[in-house]
Structure formats: structure tokens, C-alpha cells
A and B are shown apart, each in its own frame.
Chain A
């Protein structure tokens, strides 16, 4: 949603992958917001490793991740949408509307 949001200037969302020690794969640990890749890596270090030395960090802007469909049949029902962060079923309804 972030890129269609009229309310400007939210820093992009990044997914963070960390190799916790040599010999292991990078593992997805979570996400964060950053203005650019350098900042995303530094923030990942601050947020997800609390500055441990010697770990390897990957970051990728969430919008570039394509995900498999958990249920192929779902494509008949949901519009094609493989962006992990975008879920069109959430509607923004007016506050006055109750019990819905």
C-alpha cells in the first residue's frame, strides 16, 4: 500500500536477513523502514542484532520480493497479487460506521 498512499513520504519497507554465524544460511528475521539500502543495513544492525560484530546482513526492499501462492486455487478468487506486503482485503471505512 505504501506506494499508493497519498499520505506522502513513508520510508520504504525492507526485509532483513541475517547470517548469525559463519557457516549458516541467512535467515529472515523481520522488516524495517529505511530511506536507502545503507540505512537499511545500519538499522538492521541496530534493531535486529543490537550491534553484534561479525554478522552478515542482507536487506531487500519488500516490494521486490515475489512470493509463491500458498494455495494455487486461490488465484481464482483473489486478484493476482504476489506482493507479500499488499493485502487488498483491508478496507478503510468511515468511523461512523458501526457493527460491521
Chain B
């Protein structure tokens, strides 16, 4: 049961944190049309996160009360659980601290310039397109339904970020340098997507989760094809950062949460 919850949270946290990051662009994009496009993508991620958190809240509520109070290390959340109240959509995103979050490190990396944002999304979108294609056959009907709905969105995201990779790579000297730098810097966060967490291993066995590691060859092929068209080189660096999926994060997540959870922290228990 716990693995099922953690698995769902992993998906939810990825969607939320990336959606939050992309939302930071709103009003600051390089051109109006792309500001609108990026906000649409952000909205898709937040929408996915909402469905996933509803499911995660439900899974938490199914766990017996005394066990439930020992899952998380966040005081406000545990207080709520101890009071006997059932969790809802917003409790898990707004009341957990960083060491309870399970998103991949990639999603919490800063927006940087447009090139960094594009590179981060590209790695993520190619992965999630493959991932949701498998997840739609999950034995968890809820997750399968979310995956199926999200797949349409992710197909669009993938097209958007792939096209921008190519445009920037094969655009001007400056854009090529910038996107290559971004790729070089964020490459080390791409590997974690394929490292199976404990929850992923457990859910794979039950026919609920996806074999992320098995997606690597397809991901490589797609990335290689786009890089070729974009005239970019694949970084030689093989060392990959990991930890986010097991709740060990970079310094960035704490700051993201400080903003994201600001209202819940300053005015605990109030509804808005």
C-alpha cells in the first residue's frame, strides 16, 4: 500500500514541480505567442498533478490511522492526519516538506534561460511520452485513466520541446551555444528518470507501474534523432545525479516549496 502511494506521489510530484517551474515564465516569455504556449503546458502539468494528488490522497486515507501518521515527516500534515481528518487534493502538495517529495531532480532545476527550460522539458517530455504509453495499461484503473488523458497532452509537449531543440540548435551561433550549454548542464539529471525507485520496482511487480529502465533505448534513439537534426552533440559525461525519487533533493526544492506553500504556512488550516 505504501509503495502504491509513493509511486503515485512520485508521478504527482514530477508533474507539480515541473508545472510550477514552467509557470514561473508566465508573463516573462520571449514573445507573446510562446508565453501562451508555455502556460498551456504548465497548466497541463498542474492538471495532471491534481488528478494524481486526488488519487494519492485517496490511497493515504485507505491506510489504517495509526500507520498513516508515520508515513510523512511533516508536522502540519501529521497534525492533520492525527486529527482524524481525511486528506484531500491539496494536503500532500502543500503540507509536505522537501524530504517527503519524490520528484526527479531534473524537474526542480531552475528555468535558466529559454534554452535551459527547453532542454529540461525535452528530456522530460520524451521520457513521459514513453512512460504514459505504458502506464495506460496499468492495473490501477485510476492511473491508467490519468495516463491515457495525459498522453495526448504529453504528445504535444514533446513536439513543442523537440521543435525548439531543433530551432535553437540549428538557429544562430548564439542559440546553438546556449542550447548546447543547457544540454551539457542538465544531461546529468536525465539518467535518474531510468533508475528504478523502490516504489517503482514494487509496482512493476504488481502490474501497476512501468519499467522505466526498459524505456532507455527508445529514449536514447529519440534524443539522438532530435540532436542530429538540431546539429547538437550528446554530452560525453556518463555520471548521473540521482536521489530525488528517493526523497534526496538538490537545494532548489526547498525554495520552490517556500513559495508554493507560503500561504499554507503563514495561515495554517485556512481555506482559500
Contact, CB under 8 Å: A43 / B36: yes
Contact A11 B36 (CB under 8 A): no
| A38 beta carbon closer than 8 Å to chain B | yes
Known contacts A39-B163, A42-B160, A53-B152, A34 near B33 by CB under 8 Å:
yes
A84 at the interface (CB under 8 A from B): no
Interchain CB contact (< 8 A) of B40 among A33, A38, A39, A51: A51
Interface, chain B (partner A; CB < 8 A): 31-34, 36-37, 40, 152, 156, 159-160, 163, 167
Between-chain CB contacts (< 8 Å), 26 pairs? A11-B31, A32-B33, A33-B31, A33-B32, A33-B33, A34-B33, A35-B167, A38-B163, A39-B33, A39-B163, A42-B37, A42-B159, A42-B160, A43-B33, A43-B34, A43-B36, A43-B37, A46-B33, A46-B36, A46-B37, A46-B40, A47-B36, A50-B40, A51-B40, A51-B156, A53-B152
Interface majority SS (helix, strand, loop, mixed), chain A: mixed
Residues of chain A from 40 to 61 with CB closer than 8 A to chain B in the complex: 42-43, 46-47, 50-51, 53
Chain A: how many interface residues by the 8 Å CB criterion?
14
Name A's B-contacting residues (CB within 8 A).
Answer: 11, 32-35, 38-39, 42-43, 46-47, 50-51, 53
Residue of A nearest to B36 (CB): A46
Residues of B within 8 A of A47 (CB): 33, 36
Q: How far is the CA of A51 from the CA of B34 in the complex (A)?
A: 14
Chain B nearest CB: distance from A88 CB in Å?
A: 26
In angstroms, how far is the closest chain B Cβ from the Cβ of A47?
6
Give A43 to B32 CA distance when docked, in angstroms. 10
The residue in chain B whose Cβ has the minimal distance to the Cβ of A34 is: B33
How far, in whole Å, are A94 and B167 apart by their CA atoms in the complex? Answer: 38
Q: Name which residue of chain B comes closest to A38, CB basis.
A: B163
Residues of chain A within 8 A (CB-CB) of B159 are 42
CA A53 to CA B156, docked complex, whole Å? 11
Least distance between B118 CB and chain A CB atoms (Å): 14
Q: Looking across the interface, which residue of chain B has its beta carbon closest to that of A50?
A: B40
Across-interface contacts of B167 in A (CB, < 8 A): 35
- B173 CB to nearest A CB, Å: 15
